[in-house]
Amino acid sequence: MKIFDPLGLVMPTKMIGNILFRISLQVIKKEGKGRIPWDECLPESLLGEWMIYFGMLLKLDLVKFVRSFKPDDANPHIDPDLVTFDDGNPDAFGAVAYALWTVMDSTRVARLIMSKVKLAPIVKKGETVRNELNGAIFAARMKAWIMKTSGIKFNKHIPILDSRIVQDMIKKDSYWYNTFAGVRVAEIQTKTNVDDWLHVPSGENIADILTRGAPPSELGPESVGQNGPNWLVQDRSTWPVTDV
């Protein structure tokens, strides 16, 4: 059965199970059992990890989200910014989007809109740069979809990543690359402004909880997962980002 979560609000926890499931299949195959029967028992070494994961799923009932990602006291005269973070590692790639609002007392509030993450293809598993580029594609597509369907007028899109290689790739002409990279770079250039992409240290990239997974305790109302990094609501000059 699947968790009904079309916006990916609890995707970080679900991702723990996705990664664990792939690991379980790989362990069973290494034991030389050929095609895996549907009723094959899990290896003893993984049973404990699965029980911990099932416990996490039960605790998801305790995680609450606000009904609307627009604050009640949002300033009606200032359009919000759309901020996306993306990430890729040897196992997965994904992106998450936040709306950055200015409220009536002139402070800023960030609200989670949605996230999307996917396991890396098993054939290309381990190629981090490919997955970082795939994460950037997710961010670009997410930006286009949100601006088209949300009914919210956004001021600007602020895409953030933690790969300097991909940040530089986006700014070059797509025909310099092979087919895989060229098609993706061209799509990113079409759907976003290449000069808007900002680099952030890996420790500040909230999309990391998507690709590595996170327990329900990291998804609550006051968590970084729902509100974004603390620096996101501060003055832009204090953000730990670079554009070159």
Tens of pLDDT, residue by residue over 224-233, are 999 999 999 9
The more confidently predicted of residues 117 and 31 is 117
**CA–CA gap between residue 157 and residue 222 (Å, rounded):** 24
Residues 171-210 as b/e (b if ≥16 CB within 10 A, e otherwise) read eeebeebeeebeebbebbbebbeeeebbbbeeebbbbbbb
- How confident is the model over 81-102, as a mean pLDDT? 96
First-to-last alpha carbon distance for the chain, in angstroms, is 45
- DSSP helix/strand/coil, 109: strand
What does the block give as tokens for 228? 């974004």
**CA–CA gap between residue 49 and residue 3 (Å, rounded):** 19
Q: In the structure, what pLDDT confidence band is assigned to residue 64 with cuts at 50, 70 and 90?
A: very high
> What pLDDT score does 224 carry?
92
| The overall pTM is greater than 0.85 | yes
> What pLDDT score does 39 carry?
78
**CA–CA gap between residue 117 and residue 111 (Å, rounded):** 19
Tens of pLDDT, residue by residue over 13-45, are 999 999 999 988 888 877 666 677 777 788 888
